[in-house]
Chain A
């Protein structure tokens, strides 16, 4: 049983905690020992958040050693760029192309480019960086697909669906996990979100877009 490390990144409020909960439950259903650790408290106020999920025969530290994550699952593209360095050289990045702006007042204004920090990078700049750093990149329009399903909040589960296509784990384990972690009245929506994400992942894989 090969040990697997997943780093989940996004912006506070995007549903990272639910995504990592479902992922953990999937690992248990697939027969792994599982640990996860994530940020609570102050960092959740719209800040950059990250969650570590580890599968293995027996997991000791809940923290993924730097530079050795097998998978990076990012719900926001700037956060993908921020955390991609934690990926192992042959690691896979599954990234939502969604952009959530950072606080405008902290970035340099076009009027005063000398004052303030760097601006939000372009999609091309971020994709270039991710493609260079990740062994494999799966870019998914998780936000748009979730909105088309009628609820933007399920973008996290859309992305899990995409992740499922690059993992050698039976899809039944995912279904068990969704049933265990998602409240019954949202289960159908989340199952559809998972299916849509899985489809998007499979299309990308078959077209060889990496």
Chain B
């Protein structure tokens, strides 16, 4: 059976073929589709967890309980899950546990790029790296087999390019008939192995090191690491998608492909190096392979190139690898020509909040909200400049509120940070001047703990939870407030208002996301109170609203004076035409925000004409 598969779908199918019955994770680009695909298969249990830490704890528990388990997340998710990750390396897993994490070199959809290969070395667990969809499919089975044979979690690390590329996968017709019976590996209580009191942990620390030695022997001899001998003047060492780039860039060179780059196969690499005149290490991000190669004593004096030639930032490509090698005289030229810029100035087209997005109202209100001047702080007779409120933001679609023309976000760092950051600024003297803005999904993920601290600190923090009832950024994934399982069946719903009141916030107000005056008035009121406030600004994600709206906005051309005040809400349905503004009816959702900001009252809602739907 031959199919063209997305890397993430191949991982899901590979997990199913390898007998995985339980999968958990937290959505995050570029990892999201793995669990989405897996959830569609019959007879499996797949669930989004509230965050990556819980996902890995649930996954580790499922493996202890005897089920082959997969846990998925994006690279930064493993920062959140680092605690159970390191612990699982100590306790071992019982049944197979594969942790699939997807890095994002180039930061297509992330707050930073980090090289998660380092995590495998850090926690002393084996690392596998596929370079295409076929290897995605095959390596999940290898990971689970290693996990059970060596009693360790296994990291399968992809990058966005592997996860989000499609290539041909061949699999046996009966690939899905094999299934590991879960009962074969029942949990056998053993506190010396599973209760990490210091005395037990010290014993497991020795077991960890001994296991690493055996895994290194596996990496030395397994065909997952293999050599293609060709021209011996140049020898390439590569892993992940960089292997594909290197083969395309240097079709004649000998190449050592590392499908399992940790524990590092020292002997294999030393032998390969001895067979070539010069080594070039082709890897994205950190010099993870290169540092281990340079540390091999037999290679002292060998000509080795790596990050001295290739960038350690962003994605590589065959063209970049080739061009840099030519520039540095490693191979003869010519270098590929760079793309010439367009001779015409082109307007940029960055991603934007959708037309009708419920988040737009809050950002529009915040973008022009000023705090009362602190008269006491200024010497008499001096003019005090107006200061806009400070907005601590968070991670989701709504981070787009930081972009012009809304420009209403001052910080955004990591999941859930908005509330803690606001509390810290309040402690530093910004009381009444900071608003934390966070989405419902991110609030459940890790905003709740920040809110608990706000209450416990006796602070007066103002928190806006933008509740669109979904984790929208990753494609509309369910979260604890959605009342749905990953497979779309009904689930118990965690109530946002009750959570906020339950942790001790008395001032909890729910506001309609399309009511600009109330959103503005409530934020201003909350900034003036002496207790914490949570404003839940509620409206549906427009990506989940089906069919055209009954009404659309219409600009009366005779009344519009072209002041363009409405354009400052940053709605893609509003365009300029002959000195005025017009609404694109196909795009308009009738959200009414432009109507509320027009000083001329030139915009009103009208019934949508049939031809417009």
Pair from one complex: yes
Seen from chain A, the residues whose Cβ lies within 8 Å of a Cβ on chain B are 11-12, 24-25, 28, 33-48, 59-63, 65-68, 78-79, 81-82, 84-86, 101-107, 109-111, 117-121, 125-126, 129, 152
Whether A105 lies near B405 (C-beta < 8 A) is yes
Interface size on B, residues (CB 8 A): 60
Contact A43 to B342, CB < 8 A, known contacts A61-B248, A103-B352, A103-B572? no
The answer to whether A63 touches B347 (Cβ under 8 A) is no
* Cβ–Cβ < 8 Å partners of A46 in chain B: 349, 351-352, 354, 572
Nearest-neighbour CB distance to chain B for A121, whole angstroms, equals 6
CB proximity of A133 to chain B, nearest CB, Å: 8
CA–CA, A79 and B463, complex, Å: 39
Check A24–B576 contact: CB distance below 8 A.
no
- Cβ–Cβ contact B164 & A37, under 8 A: yes
The answer to whether B266 has its CB under 8 Å from any CB of chain A is no
Residue B564 contacts which of A25, A84, A109 (CB distance < 8 angstroms)? Answer: A109
Cβ–Cβ contact B348 & A102, under 8 A? yes
Cα A60 to Cα B567 with chains together (Å):
46
Residues from chain B with a CB closer than 8 A to the CB of A104 are 564, 567, 574-576, 581
Given contacts A46-B351, A61-B244, A61-B245, contact A66 B29 (CB under 8 A): no
Assess whether A79 is in contact with B349, with CB atoms less than 8 Å apart: yes
Q: What does the 1/0 interface line of B332-347 toward A look like (CB < 8 Å)?
A: 0000111111111111
With A40-B29, A104-B575, A111-B562: A81-B342 Cβ-Cβ less than 8 Å: yes
- Interface residue? B225 (CB, 8 A): no
Q: At the interface, yes or no: B494 with Cβ under 8 Å from chain A?
A: no
B474 within 8 A of A: yes
Q: Are B473 and A42 in contact (CB under 8 A)?
A: yes
A65 and B340 contact, CB distance less than 8 A: no
Inter-chain contact B337/A67, CB cutoff 8 Å? yes
Majority SS of interface residues in chain B? Answer: loop
A105: B residues at CB distance < 8 A: 404-405, 564, 567-568, 570
Chain A minimum-CB-distance residue to B322? A65
B347 engages A65 (CB within 8 Å): no
Instruction: Give the top 5 A-B pairs by smallest Cβ distance, nearest first.
Output: A41-B29, A41-B109, A47-B351, A45-B351, A118-B345
- Listed residue (A41, A86, A129) with the most chain B CB atoms within 10 angstroms of its CB: A41
Does B413 sit within 8 A of A, measured CB to CB? Answer: no
Separation of A43 and B108 alpha carbons in the complex (Å): 8
Residues of B within 8 A of A67 (CB): 336-339
Smallest CB–CB gap between B242 and chain A, Å?
10
Query: A59 with B167: in contact, given A78-B347, A86-B339, A118-B347 (CB under 8 Å)?
Result: yes
Question: Quick one: closest B residue to A181, CB to CB?
Answer: B4
- Please determine whether B319 and A66 come into contact, CB atoms closer than 8 angstroms: yes
A40 and B567 contacting across the interface, CB-CB below 8 Å: no
Most buried by A among B164, B244, B346: B346
A152 → chain B closest CB, angstroms: 8
CB distance from B130 to the nearest CB of A (A): 13
Q: Which residue of A lies closest to B355 (CB)?
A: A46
B346-A121 in contact (CB<8A): yes
Query: Nearest-CB distance from A112 to chain B (Å)?
Result: 9
Given contacts A43-B109, A48-B348, A85-B340, 12 further A-B contacts (CB under 8 A): A35-B165, A40-B32, A41-B109, A44-B351, A47-B352, A59-B167, A61-B317, A63-B161, A85-B339, A85-B342, A103-B352, A152-B586
CB of B606 to closest CB in A, whole Å? 21
A42 to B336, Cβ gap below 8 A?
Answer: no
Q: Does B400 contact A (CB under 8 A)?
A: yes
| Minimal beta-carbon separation of B433 from chain A (angstroms) | 26
Asked whether, in the complex, the Cβ of B473 is within 8 Å of the Cβ of A41, the reply is yes
Is A47 touching B342 in the complex (CB atoms < 8 A)? no
User: Is the pair B165, A60 in contact by a Cβ cutoff of 8 Å?
Assistant: no
Question: In the complex, A118→B574 CA distance in Å?
Answer: 17
Q: In the bound complex, do residue A33 and residue B342 qualify as a contact, i.e. CB atoms below 8 Å apart?
A: no
Interface pair A119/B347, CB less than 8 Å apart: yes
How far is B337's CA from A106's CA once the two chains are assembled, in angstroms?
32
| A70 CB → nearest B CB, Å | 15
Q: Report if A35-B352 is in contact (Cβ < 8 Å); known contacts: A41-B473, A63-B161.
A: no
Minimum distance in angstroms from B25 CB to a CB of chain A: 15
7 contacts between A and B (CB under 8 A): A37-B161, A40-B32, A45-B352, A66-B317, A106-B347, A109-B564, A111-B579
Q: Are B337 and A12 in contact (CB under 8 A)?
A: no
Q: Does B353 contact A (CB under 8 A)?
A: yes
Closest CB in chain A relative to B587 CB, distance in Å: 9
CB–CB B4/A25 < 8 A: yes
- CB of B167 within 8 A of CB of A43, answer no
User: Which residues of B466-510 are within 8 A (CB) of A?
Assistant: 473-474
User: Do B30 and A40 touch across chains, with their CB atoms under 8 A apart?
Assistant: yes
Q: What CA separation (Å) do A126 and B346 show in the bound complex? A: 10
| Cα–Cα, bound, A24→B4 (Å) | 8
A111 near B564 with CB under 8 A, answer yes
Please indicate the chain A residues that have their CB under 8 angstroms from the CB of B584 in the complex.
Answer: 101
B324 interface hit (Cβ, 8 Å)? no
B397 located at the interface, meaning its Cβ lies under 8 Å from any Cβ of chain A in the complex? yes
Q: Once the chains bind, are A63 and B318 in contact (CB under 8 Å)?
A: yes
Does B195 make an interface contact (CB < 8 A)? Answer: no
Alpha-carbon separation in the docked complex, A35 to B354 (Å): 31
Q: How far is the CB of A88 from chain B (nearest CB, A)?
A: 11
Residues of B within 8 A of A60 (CB): 244-245, 247-248, 318
Which B-chain residue is minimally distant from A76 (CB atoms)? B349
Of the residues B32, B346, B581, contact of A118 by C-beta under 8 Å: B346
CA gap between A86 and B574 in the complex, in Å: 31
Kindly list chain A residues whose C-beta atoms are within 8 Å of the C-beta of B191: none
**Contact status A120-B347, CB under 8 Å:** yes
Closest residue on chain A to residue B357 by CB atoms: A45
Q: Please name all residues of chain A whose beta carbon is closer than 8 Å to the beta carbon of B108 when the two chains form the complex.
A: 39, 41-43
